[in-house]
Amino acid sequence: MHVSTTKSLHARWRTLPVGKVQLTGGFWAEKQAINRRVSLRHGYRMLGQSGNLNNLRLAAGAGEGAYRGPVFMDSDVYKWLEAASLDLANAAGPAGADPELEALVNEVIALVAAAQQPDGYINSYYQVNKQPEDRWTNLDHDHELYCAGHLFEAAVAHHRATGERDLLDVACRFADCIDGVFGPGKRDGAPGHPEIELALVELYRETGEKRYLDLALFFIDARGKGRMRGYGRWGAAYHQDHVPVREASEVVGHAVRQLYLAAGVADAYLETGEQALMDALQRLWHDATARKMHLTGGYGARHEGEAFGHAYELPSDECYCETCAAIAAMMWNWRMLLATGDPRYADTLERSLYNGFLSGVSLDGQRYFYVNPLQSRGGIARPEWYGCACCPPNVMRQIALVGNYIATTDDMGVQLHQYASATIEATVGDKRVVLAMETRYPWEGHVHVTVAETGGGEWTLAFRVPGWCNHAALWLNGEIIAGGASDGNYVTLTRLWQPGDVVELDLEMRPRLTAPNPRVDAIRGSLAIERGPLVYCLEEEDQAAGVDLLDVRLAPDADLEAAWRDDLLGGVVTVTAEGYVADVRDWEAALYRPAPVLETVARPIKLVAVPYYAWANRTPGAMRVWIPTH
Amino acid sequence: MHVSTTKSLHARWRTLPVGKVQLTGGFWAEKQAINRRVSLRHGYRMLGQSGNLNNLRLAAGAGEGAYRGPVFMDSDVYKWLEAASLDLANAAGPAGADPELEALVNEVIALVAAAQQPDGYINSYYQVNKQPEDRWTNLDHDHELYCAGHLFEAAVAHHRATGERDLLDVACRFADCIDGVFGPGKRDGAPGHPEIELALVELYRETGEKRYLDLALFFIDARGKGRMRGYGRWGAAYHQDHVPVREASEVVGHAVRQLYLAAGVADAYLETGEQALMDALQRLWHDATARKMHLTGGYGARHEGEAFGHAYELPSDECYCETCAAIAAMMWNWRMLLATGDPRYADTLERSLYNGFLSGVSLDGQRYFYVNPLQSRGGIARPEWYGCACCPPNVMRQIALVGNYIATTDDMGVQLHQYASATIEATVGDKRVVLAMETRYPWEGHVHVTVAETGGGEWTLAFRVPGWCNHAALWLNGEIIAGGASDGNYVTLTRLWQPGDVVELDLEMRPRLTAPNPRVDAIRGSLAIERGPLVYCLEEEDQAAGVDLLDVRLAPDADLEAAWRDDLLGGVVTVTAEGYVADVRDWEAALYRPAPVLETVARPIKLVAVPYYAWANRTPGAMRVWIPTH
| Chain A residues with beta carbon closer than 8 angstroms to that of B600 | 518
Asked if A365 and A570 touch (Cβ cutoff 8 Å), the reply is: no
Please give the Cα distance from B117 to A129 (Å, whole number).
Answer: 40
Measured between CA atoms, the residue of chain B closest to residue A513 is: B595
Give A 552-581 residues with CB within 8 A of chain B.
556-557
The answer on pLDDT for A173 being more than 80 is: yes
Mean of pLDDT values over A76-88: 98
Of the candidates B291, B302, B597, the beta carbon closest to that of A515 is on B597
| Chain B residues with beta carbon closer than 8 angstroms to that of A381 | none
Regarding whether A495 and A379 lie in a shared domain, the answer is no
The answer on pLDDT for A483 being more than 80 is: no
Give B 230-269 residues with CB within 8 A of chain A.
233
Asked if B399 and B444 touch (Cβ cutoff 8 Å), the reply is: no
Mean of pLDDT values over B167-186: 98
In this predicted model, which residue has the larger pLDDT, A25 or B483?
A: A25
Of the candidates A295, A316, A318, the beta carbon closest to that of B592 is on A295
Q: How far is B482 from chain A (nearest CA, A)?
A: 24
Please give the Cα distance from A206 to A165 (Å, whole number).
Answer: 11
Provide the pLDDT for residue A577: 97
Pick the catalytic residue: B147, B172, B177, B390?
Answer: B390
| Chain B residues with beta carbon closer than 8 angstroms to that of A351 | none
Which of A345, A289, A279 is CA-nearest to residue A489? A345
Regarding whether A267 and A128 lie in a shared domain, the answer is yes
**Contact criterion met (CB < 8 Å) for A512 and B594:** yes
Regarding whether A417 and A401 lie in a shared domain, the answer is no
Whether B12 is in a domain gets the answer no
Please give the Cα distance from A327 to A613 (Å, whole number).
Answer: 14
Whether A572 is in a domain gets the answer yes
Report residue A319's pLDDT band, with 50, 70 and 90 as the boundaries: very high
Sequence-distant (≥ 6) Cβ neighbours of residue B48 within 8 angstroms: B54
Measured between CA atoms, the residue of chain B closest to residue A511 is: B594
**Contact criterion met (CB < 8 Å) for B318 and A315:** yes
Regarding whether A96 and A158 lie in a shared domain, the answer is yes
Which of B313, B200, B187 is CA-nearest to residue B252? B313
Mean of pLDDT values over B383-390: 95
| Chain B residues with beta carbon closer than 8 angstroms to that of A313 | 317-318
| Chain B residues with beta carbon closer than 8 angstroms to that of A596 | 513, 515, 556-557
Of B507, B532, B551, the position where a domain reaches its end is B507
Regarding whether B624 and B576 lie in a shared domain, the answer is yes
Of the candidates A516, A584, A597, the beta carbon closest to that of B592 is on A516
Of B452, B482, B507, the position where a domain reaches its end is B507
- How many folded domains does chain A comprise? 3
In tens, the pLDDT along A324-336 reads 999 999 999 999 9
Regarding whether A170 and A249 lie in a shared domain, the answer is yes
Task: Give the rounded percent of residues in chain A with a pLDDT score beyond 70.
Answer: 99
Asked if A112 and A167 touch (Cβ cutoff 8 Å), the reply is: yes
Give B 504-523 residues with CB within 8 A of chain A.
512-523
Provide the pLDDT for residue B229: 87
In tens, the pLDDT along B242-279 reads 999 999 999 999 999 999 999 999 999 999 999 999 99
In tens, the pLDDT along B409-444 reads 999 999 999 999 999 999 998 999 999 999 999 999
**Contact criterion met (CB < 8 Å) for A519 and B551:** yes
Whether B436 is in a domain gets the answer yes
A447: domain CATH number? Answer: 2.60.40
B390 is catalytic: yes
Provide the pLDDT for residue B93: 82
Q: How far is B50 from chain A (nearest CA, A)?
A: 20
Whether B332 is in a domain gets the answer yes
Please give the Cα distance from B297 to B535 (Å, whole number).
Answer: 10
Regarding whether B401 and B384 lie in a shared domain, the answer is yes
Provide the pLDDT for residue B487: 60
Provide the pLDDT for residue A93: 83
Q: Does B114 touch chain A (CB under 8 A)?
A: no
In tens, the pLDDT along B440-474 reads 999 999 999 999 999 998 999 999 999 999 999 99
CA A269 from centre of chain: 20
Q: Does A304 touch chain B (CB under 8 A)?
A: yes
| Chain B residues with beta carbon closer than 8 angstroms to that of A304 | 302-304
**Contact criterion met (CB < 8 Å) for B524 and A628:** yes
Q: Does B311 touch chain A (CB under 8 A)?
A: yes
Sign of CA dihedral B488, B489, B495, B499: positive
Whether B8 is in a domain gets the answer no
Regarding whether A350 and A233 lie in a shared domain, the answer is yes
Give the angle A542-A548-A551 at the CA atoms, nearest 5°.
Answer: 120
Whether A8 is in a domain gets the answer no
Provide the pLDDT for residue A602: 84
Antiparallel, parallel or unpaired: β B623-624 and B534-539: antiparallel
Whether A52 is in a domain gets the answer yes
The answer on pLDDT for B538 being more than 80 is: yes
Provide the pLDDT for residue B485: 58
Provide the pLDDT for residue B486: 62
The answer on pLDDT for B483 being more than 90 is: no
Q: Does B606 touch chain A (CB under 8 A)?
A: no
Please give the Cα distance from B251 to B259 (Å, whole number).
Answer: 8
Of the candidates A304, A377, A590, the beta carbon closest to that of B304 is on A304
Provide the pLDDT for residue A487: 59
Backbone angles phi, psi at A112, to 5 degrees: -60, -45
Task: Give the rounded percent of residues in chain A with a pLDDT score beyond 90.
Answer: 93
In tens, the pLDDT along B571-585 reads 999 999 999 999 998
Regarding whether A522 and A453 lie in a shared domain, the answer is no
Pick the catalytic residue: B82, B206, B271, B306?
Answer: B306
The answer on pLDDT for A484 being more than 60 is: no
In tens, the pLDDT along A584-626 reads 988 998 999 999 987 667 899 999 999 999 999 999 999 999 9
Asked if A370 and A405 touch (Cβ cutoff 8 Å), the reply is: no
Mean of pLDDT values over B140-161: 97
Q: How far from each other are the two terminal CA atoms of chain A, in whole angstroms?
A: 44
Please give the Cα distance from A77 to A147 (Å, whole number).
Answer: 9
The answer on pLDDT for B484 being more than 60 is: no
Choosing among A286, A519, A521, which should be mutated to test the B contact, i.e. which has the most B CBs within 10 A? A521
Of the candidates B302, B304, B596, the beta carbon closest to that of A556 is on B596
Of B405, B429, B452, the position where a domain reaches its end is B405
Whether B346 is in a domain gets the answer yes
Three-state secondary structure call for residue B496: strand
**Contact criterion met (CB < 8 Å) for A524 and B520:** no
Choosing among B321, B376, B521, which should be mutated to test the A contact, i.e. which has the most A CBs within 10 A? B521
Mean pLDDT score across all residues of chain A: 96
B304 is catalytic: no
Q: Does B388 touch chain A (CB under 8 A)?
A: no
Provide the pLDDT for residue A435: 98
Q: How many CB atoms lie within 10 A of CB A103?
A: 10
Of the candidates A316, A519, A528, the beta carbon closest to that of B550 is on A519
Of the candidates A304, A310, A589, the beta carbon closest to that of B377 is on A310
Report residue B27's pLDDT band, with 50, 70 and 90 as the boundaries: very high
**Contact criterion met (CB < 8 Å) for A526 and B524:** yes
**Contact criterion met (CB < 8 Å) for A518 and B587:** yes
**Contact criterion met (CB < 8 Å) for A522 and B518:** no
Regarding whether B344 and B456 lie in a shared domain, the answer is no
Pick the catalytic residue: A306, A350, A425, A504?
Answer: A306
**Contact criterion met (CB < 8 Å) for A312 and B523:** no
B/e letters for B408-436, b = 16+ CB within 10 Å, e = fewer, are bbbeebbbbbbbbbbbbbbbbeebebbbb
| Chain A residues with beta carbon closer than 8 angstroms to that of B310 | 317, 377
Report residue A485's pLDDT band, with 50, 70 and 90 as the boundaries: low
Which of A210, A241, A405 is CA-nearest to residue A327? A405
Give the angle B91-B97-B100 at the CA atoms, nearest 5°.
Answer: 130
Regarding whether A311 and A186 lie in a shared domain, the answer is yes
Cα torsion through B150, B151, B153, B154, rounded to 10: 120
Of the candidates B310, B514, B589, the beta carbon closest to that of A592 is on B514
Report residue A95's pLDDT band, with 50, 70 and 90 as the boundaries: confident
Report residue A91's pLDDT band, with 50, 70 and 90 as the boundaries: confident
Query: Which of A227-236, A393-402, B10-19 bottoms out in mean pLDDT, i.e. has the lowest?
Result: A227-236
Q: Does A466 touch chain B (CB under 8 A)?
A: no
B64: domain CATH number? Answer: 1.50.10
Q: Does B628 touch chain A (CB under 8 A)?
A: yes
Backbone angles phi, psi at B9, to 5 degrees: -65, -25
In tens, the pLDDT along A249-272 reads 999 999 999 999 999 999 999 999
**Contact criterion met (CB < 8 Å) for A593 and B286:** no
Which of A522, A2, A470 is CA-nearest to residue B309? A522
Task: Give the rounded percent of residues in chain B with a pLDDT score beyond 90.
Answer: 93
Report residue A514's pLDDT band, with 50, 70 and 90 as the boundaries: very high
Q: How many CB atoms lie within 10 A of CB A142?
A: 22
Provide the pLDDT for residue A613: 98
Report residue A92's pLDDT band, with 50, 70 and 90 as the boundaries: confident
Please give the Cα distance from A176 to A543 (Å, whole number).
Answer: 59
Mean pLDDT score across all residues of chain B: 96
Of the candidates A293, A516, A588, the beta carbon closest to that of B290 is on A588
Domain that holds residue B611: 511-628
Measured between CA atoms, the residue of chain B closest to residue A583 is: B518
**Contact criterion met (CB < 8 Å) for B518 and A582:** yes
Report residue B620's pLDDT band, with 50, 70 and 90 as the boundaries: very high
Which of A41, A46, A31 is CA-nearest to residue A383? A46
Q: List alpha helices for A24-94, DSSP H.
A: 27-34, 40-49, 52-59, 73-89
What one-character DSSP code corresponds to residue A352?
I
Please give the Cα distance from B291 to B147 (Å, whole number).
Answer: 31
Element (H, E) at B408: strand B407-410
**Contact criterion met (CB < 8 Å) for B592 and A313:** no
Sequence-distant (≥ 6) Cβ neighbours of residue A210 within 8 angstroms: A204
Q: Does B376 touch chain A (CB under 8 A)?
A: no
Provide the pLDDT for residue A205: 98
Report residue A550's pLDDT band, with 50, 70 and 90 as the boundaries: very high
Choosing among B318, B347, B581, which should be mutated to test the A contact, i.e. which has the most A CBs within 10 A? B318
Provide the pLDDT for residue A486: 62
Three-class HEC string of A377-444: CCCCCCCCCCCCCCHHHHHHHHHHHHHHHCEEEECCEEEECCCCEEEEEEEECCEEEEEEEEECCCCC
Cis peptide bond N-terminal to B442, omega within 30: yes
For the whole model, what pTM was predicted? 0.96
Query: Which of B207-216, B230-239, B436-445 bottoms out in mean pLDDT, i.e. has the lowest?
Result: B230-239
Q: Does A551 touch chain B (CB under 8 A)?
A: yes
Regarding whether A333 and A321 lie in a shared domain, the answer is yes
Antiparallel, parallel or unpaired: β B627-628 and A602-611: unpaired
Please give the Cα distance from B90 to B96 (Å, whole number).
Answer: 7
